[in-house]
Structure 1
């Protein structure tokens, strides 16, 4: 089915050619999983959107208004992914911020991505990407509109058996996957990379860290990742997905991965995502 889309609250499928989101990537987005009319992680998404708008100096949208528009977009969809895009709006040519910005919001509902059931049971295959993420602390953590690094990283392979790629920074520190955050159990400790230099601080990642406070956030090397006893991905759209292999290294979904999958299920999401 085609996406259902509202632009500034009205049904539409086109944006102004001079919008700064289109011209400069000057904006943010959130991808929110709905089950019927329920979005279990909505508060976390709105918190990240609010904090990121403040960092970019974009006026924060009215979250009550966004919720009303979300319900219109996902109406009668048993499972959906809602994308909220907020840009700085139309501006004059040039990088200078508009004196009186008029942000544009796009609320669009899509059918969820298809993920085979076996991915949640046995895990997925990954590879290490050649692309290295650039470091920019001023943008680190945000889900801003410039995703060219992820686009180029995903273009590195076309083997359908490989579901994801590991992204490292210029110092070969592991940061994330192309569309998800990454966790590894190393020497019995759950680790996830720090994202103060680059990468997206995912909403599902925040949920895992809140659920399992023993987890540590810090540097994760590729060698440590390859030596981990279990590895999994976190995504607000796909949930908790075990990693079966990374290149020639194999893993088995462990007890902690299963525990967090159960937590995801108890939030209101199905284990298989019904996608």
Structure 2
């Protein structure tokens, strides 16, 4: 399937009518695999796209080869239908590719990020899904080119914190970790899903101002791991808050990195 073309009438290509997963694979073994499959299943149910047989999906991680790799799965509704009207009985199209991967080790020690001008549209029917319609993320990421800025934070159209352009957001406040609720928009990351079952993390509605009063703030996803925040800027580059990575950051990072097979602390060896 890698190397196979996608026809121009594929609905994923034409309309973003599909789903994708990006999976960290170590020596042919996928990390957080059950969480990835569960999210793919939720997306398939929400969009009405039948999933491939589990055996077909299970065979793919081993094909990533030795070492650390990222396996990308793309599932579209396939071809057919008339305009936006989907076919009554779709024939989904699965494509995948695997590529060697190295995480951004320097960012495990801390990153500077900024707020984005762009606001995410509120659409509860798509909330949490990793669907192929990612133009909002593309436009948000195009807002900066400064290499010292690692990520951009996104709020929804009503001003609530949601996520970063490709990572979930967490902060320590009033004695516990919190993360934005994702029932209106945003992507429910698989690392986020796993951490919600392992740590006392409260899902909340919060405005951006909450970050400046938080003791620790982190970003995380299932490929890069956890990045502690050291500096937050507004959308114009003005500083809003600073942090020094401490015990809260390190404990959170250690829990997440244990799930991914990464060093539990930023200074540890990657071997």
Cα distance in 1 for residues equivalent to 2:12 and 2:102: 25
> What residue is the counterpart of 1:36 in the other structure?
27
CA deviation profile, 1:185-239 (whole Å, cap 9, x unmatched): 1222211000110100110111111110x21101121111122110001101101
Cα distance in 2 for residues equivalent to 1:150 and 1:35: 27
Cα distance in 2 for residues equivalent to 1:42 and 1:114: 18
> What residue is the counterpart of 1:222 in the other structure?
208
> What residue is the counterpart of 1:100 in the other structure?
89
> What residue is the counterpart of 1:55 in the other structure?
46
> What residue is the counterpart of 1:253 in the other structure?
245
Q: How many aligned residue pairs are there?
A: 261
> What residue is the counterpart of 2:108 in the other structure?
120
- Within-5 A mapping of 1:75-114: 75-76=65-66, 78-112=67-101, 114=103
> What residue is the counterpart of 1:195 in the other structure?
182
Partner residue of 1:240 out of 226, 244, 251: 226
TM-superposed deviation, 1:40: 2.3
TM-score using structure 2 length: 0.91
- Contact 2:25 2:61 (C-alpha < 8 Å) held by counterparts: no
The answer as to 2:59 corresponding to 1:68 is: yes
TM-superposed deviation, 1:139: 0.5
Cα distance in 2 for residues equivalent to 1:228 and 1:136: 28
TM-superposed deviation, 1:265: 3.4
Cα distance in 2 for residues equivalent to 1:43 and 1:81: 16
Partner residue of 1:14 out of 5, 11, 26: 5
Cα distance in 2 for residues equivalent to 1:265 and 1:126: 21
> What residue is the counterpart of 2:18 in the other structure?
27
Provide structure 1 residue ranges, at least 5 long, that are not aligned to the other structure: 1-5
- Contact 2:32 2:260 (C-alpha < 8 Å) held by counterparts: no
- Contact 1:194 1:218 (C-alpha < 8 Å) held by counterparts: yes
- Within-5 A mapping of 1:120-199: 120-121=108-109, 123-199=110-186
CA gap of 1:111–1:191, structure 2 versus 1, over 3 A, is: same
TM-superposed deviation, 1:105: 0.4
TM-superposed deviation, 1:113: 5.1
Cα distance in 1 for residues equivalent to 2:80 and 2:202: 42
TM-superposed deviation, 1:47: 0.6
TM-superposed deviation, 1:171: 1.6
> What residue is the counterpart of 2:236 in the other structure?
none
Cα distance in 2 for residues equivalent to 1:125 and 1:162: 5
- Contact 2:230 2:244 (C-alpha < 8 Å) held by counterparts: yes
TM-superposed deviation, 1:129: 0.2
User: SS of 1:48's equivalent?
Assistant: helix
Cα distance in 1 for residues equivalent to 2:139 and 2:93: 27
